[in-house]
Amino acid sequence: MLERHGDAIRFHPTLLALSEHYGFEPRPVAVARGNEKGRVERAIRYIRDSFFAGRQWTDLEDLNAQARQWCEGVAAERACPDNTHLRVRDALEEERPRLLTLPDNPFAGEELVPVSVAKTPYVRFDLNDYSVPHTHVRRTVTISASMTQVRVLDGTTVIASHRRSYDKGARIEDPDHLQALVAYKREARQHRGVDRLSHAIPLSEDFLQQAALRQYRPGVVVNQLLSLLDDYGAQELALAMQEALERGVPHPNAVRQSLERRREQRQEPPPLPVVLSHAKARVTIPPVSLSGYDQLQGDHDAAQESRHDHA
């Protein structure tokens, strides 16, 4: 219940939906009257002691299968609490004609949790991380979790669906999410390369358009031109690209040939790439005691006093 003032009670709307679905009336006990639900507490203790004590299972499906077998076997064969001359199974059969028929569809009892997607395309639920499309980073979505499935909703749209994990610290991923992220990063790198070329050499826009018309791979063309830009500089690369366009060969190989020919005419050595090591030396210097220096100072003072005494 959400609120209570005497006999006026405001139930949780999910509980009211559940009672309407299965046709029962929720009846709260009186305040500070725990003895009114003693039968419920005894049933919980019976399940804990008779079913869970010493039991082992591999996963939730295995546990549910064992629980069903226990309900139809051990629990159904015990004496009925209201009439010890009857078994629970027999009492159920006597009451069955007076019971309501269960609805065809079970109640949608999924857990709804709003979560925020951080910089990485994952949402955390129940100590595990589930992947989502990279287009939803830094946004708030809703997790709808059943006993077997975890769905991620953006409004009413399902953007991800995973099998629920009951591990801790597991990462559950959809391969489609990862492939889309890799493609997005590759495209973003290509756009950054195109922007750098356009800023350094305005002619590169026309060069790339001509290369695309000949169905050359844009990413390969951009990467090779950037490498030539680093080796020869913007001025030389612009002249070589202009020459390749005039020859009708908008390809990095034609640009490289032009650059090499011009370099040989100037009788310059070929450019050598400078490889900078990213390794950092890790040198551990143990602390050294300075007590030896104090002893030297003490010996020096003693020698000075000895010379003064002889003098």
Overall average pLDDT of the 88-117 stretch: 90
Q: Place 53 in a pLDDT band, splitting at 50, 70 and 90.
A: very high
Confidence (pLDDT) at 57: 92
Confidence (pLDDT) at 277: 60
Confidence (pLDDT) at 159: 96
Task: Scan for tokens 């050598």, then name that residue.
Answer: 272
Instruction: For 66-98, give the DSSP string.
Output: HHHHHIIIIIHHSBPSS-TTSBHHHHHHHHGGG
pLDDT at 288 over 80: no
More confident site: 221 or 300: 221
Q: What are phi and psi of 273, to 5 degrees?
A: -65, 140
pLDDT at 25 over 60: yes
Confidence (pLDDT) at 208: 87
More confident site: 287 or 176: 176
Confidence (pLDDT) at 303: 62
pLDDT above 70 covers a percentage of the chain that reads 90
Residues 147, 60: contact at Cβ < 8 Å?
yes
C-alpha span between 58 and 175 (Å, rounded)? 27
Highest mean predicted confidence (pLDDT) among 161-175, 193-207, 216-230 = 161-175
Total residue length of the chain: 311
Overall average pLDDT of the 231-235 stretch: 89
Is the C-alpha dihedral spanning 100, 103, 106, 111 positive or negative?
A: negative
Overall average pLDDT of the 297-308 stretch: 62
Contacting residues for 258 by C-beta, under 8 A, at least 6 apart:
239, 240, 243, 244
For residue 3, give the amino acid letter.
Answer: E
List of E strands, 126-186: 128-131, 140-145, 149-154, 157-163, 171-172
pLDDT at 189 over 80: no
Cα torsion through 234, 239, 242, 243, rounded to 10? -140
Confidence (pLDDT) at 281: 56
C-alpha span between 37 and 211 (Å, rounded)? 80
CB under 8 Å, gap of 24 or more: what pairs does 100-105 form? Answer: 100/22, 100/23, 102/22, 103/21, 103/22
Q: Angle, to 10 degrees, between the axis of helix 234-246 and the axis of helix 204-213?
A: 40
Overall average pLDDT of the 269-274 stretch: 76
Residues 207, 250: contact at Cβ < 8 Å?
yes
Confidence (pLDDT) at 50: 93
pLDDT at 295 over 60: yes
Overall average pLDDT of the 184-189 stretch: 80
C-alpha span between 136 and 120 (Å, rounded)? 9
Overall average pLDDT of the 161-170 stretch: 93
| CA distance to 192, 218, 228, 253, per residue, from 224 (Å) | 14, 10, 6, 9
Summarize pLDDT for 65-86 with one digit per residue, the tens: 999 999 999 999 999 888 888 9
Q: What does the H/E/C string look like for 200-215?
A: HCCCHHHHHHHHHHCC
Write b or e for each residue in 173-208: b if 16 or more Cβ atoms lie within 10 A of its Cβ, otherwise e: ebeebeeebeeeeeeeebeebbeebeebbebbeebb
pLDDT above 90 covers a percentage of the chain that reads 43
Instruction: For 96-113, give the DSSP string.
Output: GGGSPPPPSS-----EEE
Of 95-104, 214-223, 248-257, 302-311, least confident by mean pLDDT is 302-311
Please provide the average confidence, as pLDDT, over all residues in the chain.
86
Confidence (pLDDT) at 279: 55
C-alpha span between 150 and 121 (Å, rounded)? 15
Confidence (pLDDT) at 307: 61
Residue 36: CB atoms within 10 A of its CB come to: 11
Name residue 154's beta-bridge partners.
157
pLDDT at 311 over 60: no
Q: What are phi and psi of 4, to 5 degrees?
A: -145, 130
Confidence (pLDDT) at 164: 93
Q: Place 280 in a pLDDT band, splitting at 50, 70 and 90.
A: low
Summarize pLDDT for 124-138 with one digit per residue, the tens: 999 999 999 999 999
pLDDT at 304 over 80: no
